[in-house]
Structure 1
Amino acid sequence: MIRSTKFHGEIEIAEEDIYRFESGIPGFLEETEFSLLPLVETPFFVLQSIKTKEVAFIVTNPFNTFRDYEVKLPDEVLSTLEIETEKEVITLVILTIHDPFNQTTANLQAPIILNTHKKTGKQFIMNGSGYMNKHLLIEPLEVEQGEY
């Protein structure tokens, strides 16, 4: 099916490339179908709503940047997403893009969990995890004392 997208214009999105979010995404509860589209020549993707062109989130794999990041999924989430093995899971985090780009933040508190086999998805909010919804994607370089 041809769909209008926020960043890719009019494109073909196959039915098998649609992830279903049973409860939507917090703040976008009516948006229950999304496609994951690559942003060419970047480590980022767009989680694009199938229903609403303007609803699109820039996402990335958090483990590439935040080496100590951990997500422990409770049984309820594993069941809801029909996850049977770790190989079926993609974990992404939503970015808030800023200008300048070095001010861009990642929401580590509420990752997007996708089951690549069952094509299910959920934003999992990790309350009490110590993670915040605004972690700098690029850590500022520490300037040594006396350097200008």
Structure 2
Amino acid sequence: MKIETKYHGEYELQQQQIIHFAQGIPGFSEEKRFVLLPLEDTPFVILQSVATPALGFAMIDPFLYFPDYDFELDDASIEQLELSSAKEVAVYVILTVADPFDQTTANLQAPIVLNQQKRFGKQVILTNTPYQTKHRLFPEKTAAK
């Protein structure tokens, strides 16, 4: 099937690429089907809505920029995502892309957790955590100013 995307134009999509978000994403509860599209030659990916071309979230694997990032997934999320092994899990965080780019931030308080095998996804809101919605990707650039 072909879909229109925010950053990739028209994209040929295979049914098995679709990730199902049973409850949508907070603020976008009607959006249930997404696909991960890599941004060439970067560590970034786009979580693109299958239904809404203008809806695409820039994301990264948080461990590339925040190697000490750590959280425990609650039992309800594990059950909803039908996770049985850590090998099934992929974690991403949504970026707020800034201009200039070195001011870009990552939302570590609400990671996107995926079951890669079953193609289920959920944005998990972490509570009782030191993580916030805006962690700079390049903190050294801020310190240098």
* TM class by smaller structure: over 0.9
In structure 2, the partner of 1:104 is: 104
Matching of residue 44 in structure 1 with residue 50 in structure 2 = no
Runs of at least 4 residues of structure 1 off by over 6 A?
none
Question: What is the CA–CA distance in structure 1 between the aligned matches of 2:54 and 2:30, rounded to whole Å?
Answer: 13
More helix by share: 2
Question: What is the CA–CA distance in structure 2 between the aligned matches of 1:14 and 1:21, rounded to whole Å?
Answer: 17
| AA of the residue aligned to 1:105 | T
Cα RMSD (Å): 1.2
| AA of the residue aligned to 1:77 | S
- Which deviations, in whole Å up to 9, do the C-alpha atoms of 1:41-97 show, x marking residues without a partner? 000000000010011000000001101100210111110000010000000000000
TM-score (norm 1): 0.94
In structure 2, the partner of 1:83 is: 83
Give the drift of 1:140. Answer: 2.3
**Aligned-partner SS, 1:72:** coil
Question: What is the CA–CA distance in structure 2 between the aligned matches of 1:112 and 1:34, rounded to whole Å?
Answer: 12
| AA of the residue aligned to 1:127 | T
Give the drift of 1:17. Answer: 0.3
| AA of the residue aligned to 1:118 | K
Unaligned runs of 5+ in 1: none
| AA of the residue aligned to 1:129 | T
Matching of residue 95 in structure 1 with residue 110 in structure 2 = no
Q: Summarize the alignment of residues 1-148 of structure 1 with structure 2, pairs less than 5 Å apart.
A: 1-141=1-141, 142=143
**Aligned-partner SS, 1:118:** coil
- Which deviations, in whole Å up to 9, do the C-alpha atoms of 1:12-63 show, x marking residues without a partner? 1110000000000000000000000000000000000001001100000000
Aligned length: 144
Of all paired residues, the percent bearing the same amino acid is 48
Structure of larger gyration radius: 1
TM-score (norm 2): 0.96
Question: What is the CA–CA distance in structure 1 between the aligned matches of 2:90 and 2:67, rounded to whole Å?
Answer: 16
Unaligned runs of 5+ in 2: none
Question: What is the CA–CA distance in structure 1 between the aligned matches of 2:83 and 2:120, rounded to whole Å?
Answer: 9
Question: What is the CA–CA distance in structure 2 between the aligned matches of 1:90 and 1:72, rounded to whole Å?
Answer: 14
**Aligned-partner SS, 1:16:** helix
**Aligned-partner SS, 1:113:** strand
Question: What is the CA–CA distance in structure 2 between the aligned matches of 1:11 and 1:100, rounded to whole Å?
Answer: 28
Question: What is the CA–CA distance in structure 1 between the aligned matches of 2:27 and 2:137, rounded to whole Å?
Answer: 23
